[in-house]
Structure formats: structure tokens, C-alpha cells
Chain A
Amino acid sequence: MTTPREAQSGAPASASRRRLLQVGLGGAALLGLGGLGFWLWRPHSARVAPSDLKALDAGAWQILAAVAACICPEGKGFPSADTIGVASRVDALLAGLHPTTVSEIRQLLGLLENPASGLLLDGRIGSFSGADSETQAKILAGWRDSDIAVKRAGFKALSGLCASVYYSHPDVYAHVGYPGPPDYGNVRRKEAGAAPAAPAGPTAVPAEGAR
């Protein structure tokens, strides 16, 4: 996927790292390692996967739930990612994506979990889901800052999915000081508890004010 143009555009000092980064999420052979690990290992998780998963299988869901707990930790009054159901909500979202993308996400989770790739890529012993939360946070930060494209892109994909799902849940709104959307009285379909009072913020501007 690296074009000559891309290769030329990197500053000389960081050219080799940039070349690595340009491999991209889908093009990395490393993902295959994740797929392999995925089949050989069972996550160390006390979490029980729901039986009605739509895109992931139980093992991948358990790894994702561990990632979600790390991206969106409980504390300071914030609910846990498990309480919000982040992993299952991400699973539902993934079900609407292209099958190739879903397969890449599964491989990514396998790569993160797999002790063999962990040792090889991160120099750590043991699986992701079996690590304590401090170690998990270090592993994820290591992925975010990695010189290996698939890890940096993988961190963005997994953290973005989890953070988006968590912070868009109405049960989190009060903790971030968001009163939620006002009710215009014309909504057919509304999640329970998702109808806060009208905001104290800017209110209606007369139509003609816009002219």
C-alpha cells in the first residue's frame, strides 16, 4: 500500500518508522498471528459472554470486554464498562460492518490477547485478559505508541469503538455534565432513561432571526 509518493514524503530521520506505519490495518501479516493466537488460546476472564452475540464469538467478546474496562474504567462515580454493556454494544455495531472488517477486528483482539505475540511484540509474559488492570493499561499505551502500524491502528480502532459506545450512553451523561438532548416531542423511538429535561442552554431562535 506504500506508494513512492508516501515514502518520499517522510522526513529522513523517521523514514523507517513512517514506512512501518504505512502498512495499515488491513495489510499487515501480523494480523494473521492474531488469528492464530485466537484459536490456540482461551481468554482468562471471569466475564461470561452473552449467548446472543452477533459478530464476535465468546472468546473475542471476553477480550473486548477486558479492553473496554481498561479504556473506560470504573471509578469517580463513573459506571463500569461492563455495567454499560460496552462489549456487547460494540458487538452489535460490528455486526453491521463489512465481514472483512469484522474479521480484522477479531484478529486484532487475538493479537492483543495471544501470549506468543505479546512476548514477541511487547516483551510481556501472559495474555492480555489475564493481566492486572495496570498492566493492561500499559499494554494498550504501548500499542498506541508502537512503531508497528497494525498496533497503533489497532489501538485506535479498539479504543475508539469502546470510548464511543461508553460515552454515548445516557447513563454516563450526568458524569460528564451533559444534560442530554432536549425532547422535541416528536420522537417515535427512545431508549428508556434517555429523555432528560429540556436544556438550560440556547433555546429556540425565531425562524426569521435566521434571515
Chain B
Amino acid sequence: MSEQAGTEPRAPVQGAAAALEGALPAGISSAMDLRGHVRARCDVVVIGSGAGGAVLAAGLAEAGHSVVVLEEGGAYTKADFDLQEATAYPQLYQERGTRATADMAVTILQGRSVGGSTTVNWTTCYRTPERILSHWRQAHGLEFSEESLRPHFEAVERRLSIATWPEQNANRNNQTLGRGARKLGWEASPTRRNVKGCANSGYCGVGCPVDGKQAMHVTYLRDLVAAGGRVLADCRVDRIALTPDGGRARGVEASVLDRASGKTTGATLTIEAKVVVSSAGAIHTPALLIRSGLRDGPVGRRTFLHPVVGIGGVYAERIDGFYGAPQSMASHQYIDRGPDKMGFFMEAVPVQPMLIAFASGQFGAGLRGMMAQLPHLSVLIGLAVDGLLPGDEGGHIEVEGGAGDGGGRIRVHYPISAALRDAMAAMHEALAKVQLAAGAKSAFSLHREPVQLQSEADLPALRSAPYGALEHGIFSAHQMGGAAMGKDPARAVVTPSLRHGRVANLFVVDGSVLPTALGVNPSQTIYGLAHHARTAVLAATREAG
């Protein structure tokens, strides 16, 4: 890469094919076939192929620009998905499915393949709620409204076939949530899902076997490829290359990864681009900015996780929660718990053996006894809405080993605040009530020593149980923040157009721009914001051209 030092990008080349001819293969391909040092040039290089990168990249390619999307994970199709958890988590998730906060308190599920987390998410889609947009207007100087975002949401809803999943199709695990909540007089509604021809298999989390889920690799990335764009898998961006004055991005420098070992093959790439977009997600985008020396603003800070806790229910009848759309009912009864309280919402999970065995935190005969009841188990979760309370700064991202090399380990630090502990206790109680109201013979927590409940009379034991790091299972499937958007450069990394505050031809288009958690599953907000960002990125590409 030293041969690149100090050189300026050459004059722009018209058209995708001309810019890239001879350098990179067309369509979606693996970088593992590349040898030595490869140089390529394009209009826009997008780092990451998930909810943000894919929606943005497709729009840019359709507007006639040459676009290269780089993805550190592998490229897969439905034929690769054997629906075994033992295959899927190492293959399709970050850190082979073992990602956690540095103190091991929060298990982090995050996708890592072409399509990003959309390849493995549970399909739940919501528009950004007005109460969040209103908070952003008041506390973060953002001017988004339901009306201003509507065209973007409508566009992605059409492309991704986002629609309400009929309640009669809910599996019995989700039915327990609906039934229990309503019996308590609480709100519960079917979710909307991005599916078309869904087989109701229950395997969204391990790669959809029928392409029913309208994940990025079967939708926007296909649009991208149809318009001449390229996706290069197994390719980790080590840093964003900047001009000597640091005012503009020149492109990216990347390493090819061997898919099996996860180690670098020795092949490297330099891609020069008019515009660089980081869509690497709320953990890797801040890490990449830090590695690139872009420490402007609160980069890597205010990381939010929608921290999750769970409660199991044991039913006399079969639940078979391993089958059927994993997440199709939700209750937002406690989304607002008052001005000083962290709110939460409740959903369901796939009750598949690896996920449940891990989540239980038990071992030995106790774990075996719980697992032997698997077909009769319901598992429901509460997700805490972090980042809204004054002083709730969430967590932060650290890159070990300093800047430059892409090989430094990324660490997520997430202290458990008093407000979150209170929310976790409240989530446990609400979920236990739902399970019992829905007819569970018993309910149990995921504490080190599970709290067992036969009736609401046992709730005091749950209330007096300890809450906090490594006291019980805590999970995150929603990573947000770390490169927040906003108007004030001291408090934001990117502008409301998602343009970097200092580097004019650098954009961040992923969940890291969210200034707070959302109180709903974040995928559609990211799709919508990426659609919104198309205009500004197109303008920047033309400006640079």
C-alpha cells in the first residue's frame, strides 16, 4: 500500500465497467481468489452490506454510479443454510456467535455475512416511532418527522414486502405473549415482517432456507448487481485512507480474509473512490473511524444495545417454539414507565436448543432437566430502551492495539446503570406475569440460580433477586449509536444527512448514527435512513465527479 502514499485519485472514469475492468469480479463474489495487492477505482465504496449499506448502494448504482460494497463476512445463498445452529452461528454471526461485552455480561448477536444482520434477523420491522423522533427533535436537534421519513419508509416497505404478519399465523410461543399480555389488560399486537413467500419455518436466525425473508442479499444487493454494482465478500476494511490534510477520504485499504480461519490471506486491496461510506454497523463503524484516526466528535461513545432479559414458561401443552416465525407478536405496554424510568418492550425468541441452552446460564443436571422440556418451553424477552434518560450514555467501543492495523480486537464496554437494573427487574416481573397469565405451569428466570414461580404469589422472590452484570443472562441483538447524527459537531459524528462532520466525502449509513435506542427493532429505521441518505450521497458523488 506504500506505493499509494501521496498520490491523488486519478481523473474519474465514466461507468462501472470502465472503472473496474480487470480489477474486481462482477456481481457478488469472494475476495479470497485475489492475490497480491489489488487496486481498483470506483465512484462510491461502501463498507458493509447490511441494512444501511445495501439500501444506499443499490440507489447509487441505479443512478449510474460505479459502486463497490466490501463485506468482511462470507457470501451465502439459501443453499448454504443447513439450519443447524452449530453451522449458522459460527458462519453468520460476529466472532463466530461468541461476541459479548468485555466483561462478558452482555451477549451480543450481530450478523456477519453478505446481507449483514438482515441475513439472520428475525424480520421484525417498525417505522421509527414518533415518540423517538420527538425526543430526537428536542434533545438532539434532528428534524426528522413521521411525515419527512414517510416516503423513505414507504419505498423500503414496498421493496422488502413489509407487512403485518397475521396473528393466526403466530407460533405458540408468540401466542403466549399475545394471550398473556391481553389477559393482564396490556397492549399486544402482531409485528410487521419483511417476508414474501414465508414458509413459517422458524429459522430466520440461521439463514432463511426459502428466501422468504427479504434480506439484503435477496433484495437490494440484487438490485445493486443488476445495476452493475459489485459486492466483494471476505474483505475487511482496515482503514479509510485520507488526503494528507485529512479533509477528504481517498478510498479504503482492505485485507482479504480466509473464510475458514478468519485470518488474513496476505492479499490486500486499495480502492480509490470519490465517496466513502461506512455501513459496518454500530460496533465496526466506530472502530473503523477510530482505526482511521477519525476521532472527531463522540465517536465510539453512546453505544446502545436494547439490553434484553428473558423469562421461560413451562407449559403442559407443546409449544414447539423452535418452529414458526420466531417473532410475530409484541407488547409495548411498558414503553413509557415515567420520566425517570427506562421503558421496555416485550417480544418472543426462537426456542431452538443452542440458543436456549446458552441463554439459560445453567449447567450439569439442572441444564439437562430444563432442556428436556424444550418442546413445552416458551421464552419471552424484554428489551430495555437505553439512551433516552438524561445522563444515560450507554456503552463505548474500544479498539485494542491502537490505530492502523485492522487486526486489533474490538471491545464493547457497557456498564449496567441503576436505571437499567431497575428496568431489568421490571422486565422480569412483567414477563413472568405474562407467562403465568398465559397458562404456564411455572415460570423461571435466567438468573445464576433461576427464580422459579408457580403463581404471582412467588413474585416477591423475583423482585428480591439480584439484577446486574453476570447475575442473569443479558443479551443484545440491536446495536445502535457510536457515530451519532446531529447538528452540533461536539455531540455528533455525522450531520443529519449522514455526512461526516469534517471529511466532506465520507458518510456513515448504518445503526451507528442513531442518537438513542429506538424502542422498536431497528432494521427498518436503518433501511429508511439509508434511503434518506441516498440524496446527499448522490450529490456528494456528483460534486466530486
Interface residues of B in 101-115 (CB under 8 A from A): 102-105, 107
Check if B468 sits within 8 Å of A18, measured CB to CB: yes
The answer to whether residues A163 and B90 also contact, given A5-B415, A70-B363, A181-B84 and a CB cut-off of 8 A, is no
Q: Give chain A residues whose Cβ lies under 8 Å from the Cβ of B105.
A: 153
Interface residues of B in 32-71 (CB under 8 A from A): none
Cβ contact of B353, chosen from A89, A161, A178, cutoff 8 A: A178
Instruction: State how many angstroms separate the Cβ of A167 from the closest Cβ of chain B.
Output: 4
Cβ contact of B102, chosen from A24, A70, A145, cutoff 8 A: A24
Instruction: Identify which of A31-39, A56-64, A71-79, A121-129 touches chain B.
Output: A71-79
B95 to chain A: closest residue by CB: A97
Check if A181 sits within 8 Å of B83, measured CB to CB: yes
- Give how many A-B residue pairs fall within 8 Å (CB-CB): 217
Instruction: Identify which of B198-206, B454-462, B512-520 touches chain A.
Output: B198-206
- Give the complex CA separation of A176 and B468 in angstroms: 30
The answer to whether residues A71 and B86 also contact, given A97-B98, A189-B80 and a CB cut-off of 8 A, is no
Check if B196 sits within 8 Å of A93, measured CB to CB: no
Interface size on A, residues (CB 8 A): 76
- Cβ-based interface call for B78 (8 A): yes
Check if A71 sits within 8 Å of B82, measured CB to CB: no
Cβ contact of B368, chosen from A1, A76, A169, A194, cutoff 8 A: A76
Check if A184 sits within 8 Å of B199, measured CB to CB: yes
Check if A210 sits within 8 Å of B193, measured CB to CB: yes
Check if B353 sits within 8 Å of A21, measured CB to CB: no
- Interface bits A1-19 vs B (CB < 8 Å: 1, else 0): 1010110010100000010
Check if A163 sits within 8 Å of B163, measured CB to CB: no
- Cβ-based interface call for B145 (8 A): no
Q: Give chain A residues whose Cβ lies under 8 Å from the Cβ of B362.
A: 163
Check if B196 sits within 8 Å of A210, measured CB to CB: yes
Q: Give chain A residues whose Cβ lies under 8 Å from the Cβ of B103.
A: 1, 21-25, 149, 153
Task: Identify whether the interface residues of B are mostly helix, strand, loop, or mixed.
Answer: loop
Interface size on B, residues (CB 8 A): 81
Check if B98 sits within 8 Å of A93, measured CB to CB: yes
The answer to whether residues A186 and B209 also contact, given A1-B102, A178-B322, A181-B82 and a CB cut-off of 8 A, is yes
Q: Give chain A residues whose Cβ lies under 8 Å from the Cβ of B209.
A: 181, 184, 186-187
Check if B82 sits within 8 Å of A202, measured CB to CB: no
- Cβ-based interface call for A106 (8 A): no
Q: Give chain B residues whose Cβ lies under 8 Å from the Cβ of A210.
A: 161, 163, 165-166, 169, 193, 195-196, 198
Instruction: State how many angstroms separate the Cβ of A19 from the closest Cβ of chain B.
Output: 11
Instruction: State how many angstroms separate the Cβ of B167 from the closest Cβ of chain A.
Output: 11
- Cβ-based interface call for A156 (8 A): yes
B401 to chain A: closest residue by CB: A100
Check if B415 sits within 8 Å of A3, measured CB to CB: yes
Instruction: State how many angstroms separate the Cβ of B187 from the closest Cβ of chain A.
Output: 23
- Cβ-based interface call for A131 (8 A): no
List the 10 closest A-B pairs by CB distance, nearest first: A181-B83, A201-B323, A168-B354, A167-B357, A153-B104, A207-B197, A6-B415, A24-B103, A168-B86, A202-B324
Q: List 30 A-B contacts (CB under 8 A).
A: A1-B413, A18-B468, A73-B364, A73-B365, A76-B372, A89-B86, A93-B90, A96-B260, A101-B409, A152-B104, A153-B103, A153-B104, A159-B363, A162-B363, A168-B85, A176-B374, A181-B83, A181-B84, A181-B203, A184-B83, A184-B210, A186-B79, A187-B81, A187-B209, A201-B324, A203-B200, A204-B199, A205-B200, A207-B197, A210-B161
